[in-house]
Structure 1
Amino acid sequence: MDKIETMRAFVAVAQDQSFTAAGRRLGLSTKLVSKYVQHLESQLKTQLFNRTTRSVSLTDVGAAYLERCRPILEQMDELDDLVRERQGALSGPIRLTAPTGFGSTRLTEALIPFLQAHPEVELDMKLTDHRVALVEEGLDLAIRISVLRDSALIARKLADMPLVLCASPDYLNRAGRPRSPEALPTHTCLVNSNQQEPNIWRFHKAGREHVVRLHGAVTSNSPGALAQMAIGGLGIAMSPFYPVEAALADGRLERVLPDHATDLFGVYALYPPNRHLTRRLRALIDYLAGELGPFKLPE
């Protein structure tokens, strides 16, 4: 039994804490994954996992082995990548994560021509509105929309992403149109709970910063869900431009306080600094930098 394949099975089980999920990740049966891990444990003469009917967790030895397995497998992948790169055509896997709404719309639209042009590239895209640890999850690349925080990851900005304050005409006709940021706490505000300070909104006008603290707001970790709530007349949303672009264009939403500037988000590609950036990853990042955006608010 191939040692590298048993190590890959072990790492997948450790990442997913499940033999079944690891099998799905690797395209193998649960029984075969279990057989690989058992063979590895037999070779090492030690137990790598604590197993119960409900959970799978690493032993102390298993955790130490995992830490040393990952760089070995990464080096093996880099060797494979080197051979592929010498052959000319882009090929091999790209494991990518992105926000659900953006990933299923604008990002997917941009990816389709790239994948059609490079049919030997194998894309594994994990969409989630939660932050994902790239190394621990075995991912190559993250697409994130935010104000970039300090990070151990290498980041490249792909596009600017305006934030827009907006609400439906129906809501504004009922509740009134706020004339200043200070009026917002009297309104129902729809807040993205993924933000670093979700209940604080910042505005800028004539060199002055307005900081608004919100209370009793409706919250969600999905910008797309907040956009739909705003369209449905539930309140005022501070949204990245992409999920509200169409509704602003056709009048289902209108901008609120358009004379006050909001913070500017960016669309970023992030990847681990200690991982070899393959030619296919470099090509994808360069391609997305040319295809995404510009995202411009309506006048």
Structure 2
Amino acid sequence: MDTIDTMRAFLAVAQEGSFTAAGKRLGISTRLVSKYVAQLESRLSTQLFNRTTRSVSLTDVGVAYLERCRPIVEQIEELDDLVQARQSALAGPIRITAPTGFGSSHLTEALAPFIQAHPNVDIDLKLSDSRVALVEEGFDLAVRIGVLRDSTLIAKKLADMPLIVCASPDYLAARGRPGDPMALSTHNCLVDENPVNATAWRFQTGARDFVVKVAGTFHANAPAAIANMAIAGLGIARCPHYVVASNLESGLLEQLFSEYETENFGLYALYPPNRHLTARVRALIDHLAKHFRSD
């Protein structure tokens, strides 16, 4: 059996978490996928997958092999494209993970023109507000918003993402408009739990940089949920601008403290440091950077 075929089968099973799904992805039978993986494990004299009747997961050796196997397969596929004189037309799959709210709206808007320009590229977008292990789960790219935590991943900043402090007219009429950020301690603040220090809201004016500790009766791990509660008049929110932009324009929300600078989140594309970036992934990252900076 061809070594590359066995590596492709291993890679597909690792990405799909299923021999059956891997067979459908490769266009071969489940039995042949299993045969390829068994052949690879036999050649390496090690077990790459833990198999049960309900699930398939990588062993520790399988995770290490995946990190090295995937860039080899990708480089071979890219070399095939060059040999076949198809280098000018991007082709192949790209697996992306992104936050649910941003991914289902702004990211899909950014992806649409890229897909139209490159019809032979297959985008597989998985939305989740939980942290995803890129290598273990077979993703090419993660799109993230916020202050990045310590990580071995390589980050390319796509754009700045300012935070907006806001509240509904009804809330301000009932509770009063806070005159400055320090007054937030007397208000019900709606807390987005995604930032590391979720209840420490940072502000800056001139040379003065300070933090206000806030508290409130509603916490959530999705900024869209925070914005909806603010629209309902339940408190003061701090959200990325993209979440509340339309509500500010319509008057459902009013921005507070516009004379102060708030913490500035970033929009990032993340990928593993040892990953060989194919032409299609590099082109997508460049496209996203251009789209969001102009936006």
Alignment match, 2:229 = 229
Query: 1: CA distance between counterparts of 2:27 and 2:197?
Result: 40
Distance 1:93 1:174, change over 3 A: same
Decide which moves more: 285-294 or 49-58.
49-58
Q: Which amino acid aligns with 2:103?
A: G
**Shift of the alpha carbon at 1:44?**
5.9
Q: Which amino acid aligns with 1:133?
A: A
Query: CA contact under 8 A between 2:67 and 2:274: conserved in structure 1?
Result: no
Decide which moves more: 182-191 or 18-27.
18-27
Query: CA contact under 8 A between 1:81 and 1:278: conserved in structure 2?
Result: no
Decide which moves more: 83-92 or 122-131.
83-92
Secondary structure of residue in 1 paired with 2:182:
helix
Alignment match, 2:251 = 251
Query: 2: CA distance between counterparts of 1:27 and 1:167?
Result: 53
Query: CA contact under 8 A between 2:14 and 2:137: conserved in structure 1?
Result: no
Alignment match, 1:220 = 220
Query: 2: CA distance between counterparts of 1:195 and 1:260?
Result: 20
Secondary structure of residue in 2 paired with 1:115:
helix
Decide which moves more: 195-204 or 213-222.
213-222
Decide which moves more: 21-30 or 105-114.
21-30
Q: Which amino acid aligns with 2:118?
A: H
**Shift of the alpha carbon at 1:197?**
1.2
Secondary structure of residue in 2 paired with 1:136:
coil
Query: 1: CA distance between counterparts of 2:249 and 2:127?
Result: 27
Superposed CA deviations along residues 31-52 of structure 1, whole A, max 9, x for unmatched, are 7655654555566666544434
Alignment match, 1:275 = 275
Query: CA contact under 8 A between 1:181 and 1:210: conserved in structure 2?
Result: no
Alignment match, 1:178 = 178
The RMSD of aligned alpha carbons is 3.1
Distance 1:234 1:201, change over 3 A: same
Query: 2: CA distance between counterparts of 1:84 and 1:217?
Result: 61
Q: Which amino acid aligns with 1:161?
A: M
**Shift of the alpha carbon at 1:193?**
1.3
Distance 1:136 1:65, change over 3 A: closer
Alignment match, 1:101 = 101
1:193 aligns with 2:207: no
Secondary structure of residue in 2 paired with 1:292:
helix
Which sections of structure 1, spanning at least 5 residues, go unmatched?
Answer: none
Secondary structure of residue in 2 paired with 1:137:
coil
Query: 1: CA distance between counterparts of 2:199 and 2:24?
Result: 39
Q: Show the 5 A alignment for 1:6-85.
A: 6-14=6-14, 18-19=18-19, 34=34, 36-38=36-38, 40-41=40-41, 47-59=47-59, 62=62, 65-66=65-66, 69-80=69-80, 82-83=82-83
| Residues paired across the two proteins, number | 295
**Shift of the alpha carbon at 1:262?**
0.2
Query: 1: CA distance between counterparts of 2:214 and 2:122?
Result: 44
Distance 1:54 1:83, change over 3 A: same
Query: 1: CA distance between counterparts of 2:85 and 2:196?
Result: 40
**Shift of the alpha carbon at 1:171?**
1.4
1:110 aligns with 2:104: no
- Overall identity of the aligned pairs, in %: 66
Q: Which amino acid aligns with 1:175?
A: R
Alignment match, 1:203 = 203
**Shift of the alpha carbon at 1:179?**
1.7
Superposed CA deviations along residues 140-162 of structure 1, whole A, max 9, x for unmatched, are 22222223455433333222211
Alignment match, 1:125 = 125
Distance 1:26 1:128, change over 3 A: farther
Query: CA contact under 8 A between 2:134 and 2:141: conserved in structure 1?
Result: yes
**Shift of the alpha carbon at 1:57?**
4.2
**Shift of the alpha carbon at 1:174?**
1.7
Q: Which amino acid aligns with 1:142?
A: A
Query: CA contact under 8 A between 2:75 and 2:278: conserved in structure 1?
Result: no
**Shift of the alpha carbon at 1:202?**
0.5
Which sections of structure 2, spanning at least 5 residues, go unmatched?
Answer: none
Query: CA contact under 8 A between 1:143 and 1:270: conserved in structure 2?
Result: yes
Query: CA contact under 8 A between 2:162 and 2:264: conserved in structure 1?
Result: yes
**Shift of the alpha carbon at 1:29?**
7.3
State the TM-score, normalized to the length of structure 2. Answer: 0.84
State the TM-score, normalized to the length of structure 1. Answer: 0.83
Decide which moves more: 212-221 or 98-107.
212-221
Query: 2: CA distance between counterparts of 1:159 and 1:36?
Result: 43
Query: CA contact under 8 A between 1:164 and 1:262: conserved in structure 2?
Result: yes
**Shift of the alpha carbon at 1:107?**
1.8
